[in-house]
Amino acid sequence: MANRFNIRVYGIWLHEGMVLINEEMIRGKKIVKFPGGGLELGEGTIDGLRREWKEELDMDITVKGHFYTTDFFQPSAYDDSQILSIYYWVAGDPDAVLVNKMENERTLWLPHTDLHEDLFTLPIDRKVGAMLAQLLG
Query: 37: domain range?
Result: 4-136
> How many angstroms from the chain centroid is the CA of residue 39?
12
Is the predicted pLDDT of residue 1 greater than 60, yes or no?
A: no
Say yes or no to pLDDT of 136 above 60.
yes
Total domains in the chain come to 1
Residue 102 DSSP class = S
What local confidence, expressed as pLDDT, does residue 2 receive?
Answer: 58
Is residue 102 over pLDDT 90? Answer: no
> What is the CATH classification number for the domain harbouring 102?
3.90.79.10
DSSP string, 36-95: EEEPPTT--HHHHHHHHHHHHH----EEEEEEEE--S--B-SSSSEEEEEEEEEEE--TT
DSSP β-bridge partners for residue 84: 7
pTM (two decimals): 0.94
How many beta carbons lie within 10 A of that of residue 101, not counting itself?
A: 12
Whole-angstrom distance, CA of residue 54 vs CA of residue 11: 12
Is pLDDT at 94 greater than 90 in this prediction?
A: no
Rounded to an integer, the average pLDDT of 80-104 is 90
**Is a pLDDT exceeding 70 seen at residue 43?**
yes
